Amino acid sequence: MALHPAIVFIAGLVLLAIGAELMLRGSSRLAVMLGVRPIVLGLTVVTVGNSLPELAIGLTAGAEGRDGLVVGNIAGTNIFNILFILGLTALIRPLPIQPLSGRLGAPAMLAATVALIAMSLDGRLGRIDGLLLLAAALAYSAAVVRMSRRASPAVKREFYEEFGAEALLAAPGAARLASNALLLLAGIAVIALGAQLLVSGAVDIARTLGVSDAIIGLTIVAMGTSAPELATTIVATIKNDRDIAVGNLVGSSLYNILVILGATCIAIPGGIAVGTEILRLDLPFAAAVALACLAVFRSGRVMSRTEGACFVGAYLAYLGTLIART
């Protein structure tokens, strides 16, 4: 007896969350044991690890010819990350803005979104586009490392508490290395399975509701893959310990475009088709969101509750337009 598409979708979502956590903890602990600096680890393993579900979904959907789901998921996730998660964070408690986010993170996110729109004007993202996006990711990473040669004590303490780094450094050992390597591999395997189930469930739901893959990618898939970031950020906000969590929202949104979409364009033969509706409406809206984020970050050292409420309200209005489009 075939399972209901909603059950398949939820099962895939749960597996993605479990797999991402396993992969993130295994790879982070391995990096700590190998002496990787916290700032480099945050840029690579943590940020890309948070975006790995999007990569798995992009590769799976792209291989099945569901191009609308690929680009829709990236655009939808970034809009959800900034408007809803970041806005809700500030709404719960005024949000201190780190200087690096205002000087580099937000401008880079805006530039990447505008570049993505320019690359999509011909209706397709190919391997050359993917290579350019990955090259931009390397350049951005190098710039952040150069601007953050020394992580602050607060960031180091938060990272060590999160991943138990002090214990790992005290007793690395071959057994610990092997166990964390297995944890990493298990996480990747679970993510791959979760992505297959989620895409399969999402496509069946789209058929049942009579909507496009792009709309499903912009809504339930985007919200689902952002669920770990939402939970992490809310918990960090309540604990008033948000340096790494909030920084990763901007970082993950940027790497979704540069690394995740870039790698997907390279991996899928023939590239990824970009639908007219996404190009005309959703990608420009994602650029407007990045511009609003930059304006808020540059306006002061704190994102207020009022600004947070405006962000959340804007997301709900956007969600209303998506529902109207169905």
Per-residue pLDDT tens digits for 249-288: 888 889 899 998 999 999 998 889 998 889 999 999 999 9
Our CA dihedral for 141, 144, 150, 152, rounded to 10 degrees, sits at -110
pTM to 2 decimal places: 0.79
Tell me how far apart the alpha carbons of residues 176 and 205 are, in angstroms, rounded to a whole number.
42
The residues, any chain, with a CB within 8 Å of residue 213's CB and separated by 6 or more, are 61, 66, 67, 68, 69, 72, 202, 203, 206
Percent of residues, the chain, with pLDDT higher than 70: 76
Residue 114, pLDDT above cutoff 60: yes
**Amino acid, single-letter form, for residue 324:** A
What are the tokens at 318?
Answer: 């956007």
Nearest-10 crossing angle of helices 243-255, 227-238: 160
Residues shown for the chain: 326
Cβ distance 86 to 246 under 8 Å? yes
Instruction: Tally the domains of the chain.
Output: 1
Mapped onto helix, strand or coil, the DSSP state of residue 303 is: strand
Tokens 């540059």 sit on residue: 298
Tell me how far apart the alpha carbons of residues 55 and 171 are, in angstroms, rounded to a whole number.
33
Range among 37-51, 52-66, 83-97, 221-235 rated most confident? 83-97
Structure confidence at residue 167 as a pLDDT band (50, 70, 90): very low
User: 272 phi and psi, to 5 degrees?
Assistant: -120, 130
Distances 318 to 24, 203, 322 between C-alpha atoms, Å: 31, 22, 6
Mapped onto helix, strand or coil, the DSSP state of residue 272 is: strand
What is the 8-class DSSP label of residue 148?
T
Nearest-10 crossing angle of helices 106-120, 127-147: 170
Q: What is the CA radius of gyration of the chain?
A: 19
Residue 305, pLDDT above cutoff 80: yes
User: 304 phi and psi, to 5 degrees?
Assistant: -80, 170
Q: Is 123 left (phi over 0), alpha (psi -120 to 50) or beta?
A: left
Containing structural domain, residue 136: 5-325
Tell me how far apart the alpha carbons of residues 64 and 40 are, in angstroms, rounded to a whole number.
34
Mean pLDDT of 30-55: 64
Which pLDDT value is given to residue 75? 92
Give the CATH number for residue 225.
1.20.1420.30
What is the 8-class DSSP label of residue 301?
S
Cβ distance 228 to 95 under 8 Å? no
Residue 245, pLDDT above cutoff 60: no
pLDDT single digits (tens) 5-18: 888 888 887 887 78
